[in-house]
Amino acid sequence: MERQSCETNFTPRARDLFKLRRAVMLVFLLLKGVLIADAASLKATLDRETVVVGETLTLTLQFEDVQVSGSPNLPTIPGLNLVESSTSLNTTIINGQRTSVQSFIYSLAATQPGNFDIPAFKIEVNGEKLSSAPLKVKILRQDPAQPPSELATNLAFLWLVLPQREFFVGQAFVCEVRLYLGKQVGNIDGFQPPTLSGDGISAGKPVQGQQFKRTVGGAPFTVIPLSYAVAVIKTGPLFINPIDATANLYGGRQDFFGRYTQSTQARLATEKQNLTSLPLPSDNIPAEFSGAIGNFTMTASIGPTNVAAGDPITVRVQISGRGALDAINLKTEDSWHDFKSYPPTSKVEVTDQFGLQGRKTFEQIVSPENTDIKELPAFSFSYFDPDAKSYRTLTHPATRLIVRPGGTAVAPVIAANKNSREESPQAQIDIVPIKQRPGTLVDNTTPLAAQTWFIALNAVPVLAFIGAFAWRRSADSLANNPRLRRRRQVEQTMRNGLVELRQLAGANKSDDFFALLFRLLQEQLGERLDCPATAITEAVIDEKLRSDAVPETTRGALHELFQSCNLARYAPVRSATELASHLARFETTLSELRRSRP
């Protein structure tokens, strides 16, 4: 007697159902960012990262879109003591969307010098675990940027504080312009926060910090800090221009209405500050380096790791630290040959007011294409550490995967034994007699499923789903093409800038005209050469545009525009006619530059 044999087959219908199930799952994951609202979040910030022993700093915990009952307990932080705490609640409604931010504010006193870490806060609210990024604080025994004692007799003065004098090109840092007010000053007005400018630097707008107390030559002063985010955009000797400002100071006795009886106007100025910018080392540049400068850490989560071939795996990578977060890019796809990759998404969360401290999260969906895959390859992120003056590489090891065959198995077909008896089939009726009486005839109305309005009503959610999917694919395609996205942004900037230049030329505002003209030149050339706009100077015209098929006449016109902008700083143009001629030259050069685009 022969053994029975089993044979398992995958029908075409089963394979089609599996492919449909996989496609629906991937579409759902791609639309997750559109269909799901942002969850609650927790952010911790410090008003200052460097203090002197005896001073206080402010730690703020912000809970967004969640209510916390009771003030969170602070852990023991070496070098800092809790002085007082307070809370605030801010609710806004924009376009019908409600956002609430609950803040817990802690005043901390610095007690001993050193570098201290404030660990990440991990709090569970309504069953949801929230966490913040860790913070660092530096406590000094005395102020290294202490003004000279000769200024102790001034009622008020400005003092520029730099973290160092030597930087690397592309490095970003924060400097302070401190306004010192003597104890005789009761009030101040007429003071405009100065604009920081110079050669080889690009500075942002000032951010006023919390005032504090300092002594200069034994005299007490109230200090109002103005902080600036500064980026170094070229190598070689640099400088920060002197600052010149005025303010009205009030003091003396107060009358019945609280007004001071004495006033004076003070001139506030700083000296020119010289800096040095070094190029990045040309030796031992990692292959993964994409221009990130700062100090960073990397964490990653990958899951699920037990999947069928073709199923999605979510790779989430978070890079945290201090530096230019927008410039961080992660190279992973070069080693993922056996995976189908979908366009990645990224999100930047900053924890300071300058956009230099925080974290950037990358999320990408990949799917293994066959069962021979045993692991997700390792990936790395490289950056330049300006403190250590060397390149550093962070690596996440390979992740073990279990990839099962894809598809849906059907019931096995069992081949019958050759010696088994054949059952006699039942008799079948091949001919059915004709019905003699058809019965009662009724009106045959159109079925509901065949009516037009019913079909249209059921087509609405399908069309909405297809529209949302198409919009999401278009948005992902644009997000995955930074060159195209930047080109569109620069074109819009050029259109708006030309309108503003005409207005400034008509109003004969020379300084504002040439400042805007210089920025538009940087934006247009930065997009053309695919480099930051702040890195564009006159030197790049011959260095990079010569190899970019730009005619010599166009390069010469660009040289003249840059030289006009530089000359306007020292010899301002006073005539509206001259400004209009510069505008016409700029429009002509811009058209020639666009026509020469390869």
pLDDT at 228: 92
Answer yes or no: CATH 3.40.50 is held by domain 149-278.
no
- pLDDT tens figures, 6-18: 333 445 555 555 5
CATH number listed for the domain at residues 41-140: 2.60.40.740
Q: How far apart are CA 422 and CA 445, in angstroms?
A: 49
The answer to whether residues 360 and 347 touch, using CB atoms and an 8 Å cutoff, is yes
Mean pLDDT for 310-322 is: 91
The token pair that represents 160 in the structure block: 């520029």
Per-residue confidence band for 413, with pLDDT thresholds at 50, 70 and 90: very low
Looking at the predicted structure, is the pLDDT value of residue 3 above 50?
no
Which string of DSSP letters, residue by residue, matches 213-250?
Answer: EEEETTEEEEEEEEEEEEEE-SSEEEEE---EEEEEEE
| Dihedral angle sign, alpha carbons of residues 207, 208, 213, 218 | positive
Collapsing DSSP states into helix, strand and coil, what is residue 125? strand
Please identify which residue in the block is written with the tokens 């003597």. 182
HSE at residue 362, side-chain half, CA atoms within 13 A, is 25
Q: How far apart are CA 598 and CA 594, in angstroms?
A: 9
- pLDDT tens figures, 377-412: 888 899 999 999 999 999 989 999 999 987 544 444
Domain ranges of the chain: 41-140, 149-278, 288-404, 483-595
pLDDT at 484: 80
Looking at the predicted structure, is the pLDDT value of residue 274 above 90?
yes
Which of 91-100, 357-366, 399-408 reaches the highest mean pLDDT?
357-366
pLDDT at 384: 92
- pLDDT tens figures, 218-237: 899 999 999 999 999 999 99
- pLDDT tens figures, 40-79: 788 888 877 888 888 888 889 888 888 887 788 888 888 8
Domains 41-140 and 149-278 share a fold: yes
pLDDT at 159: 92
Name the helix (H) or strand (E) containing 507.
Answer: helix 482-507
pTM for the predicted model, two decimal places = 0.52
288-404: CATH topology is Immunoglobulin-like (2.60.40)
Peptide bond into 304 cis (omega under 30): yes
The token pair that represents 55 in the structure block: 């001073």
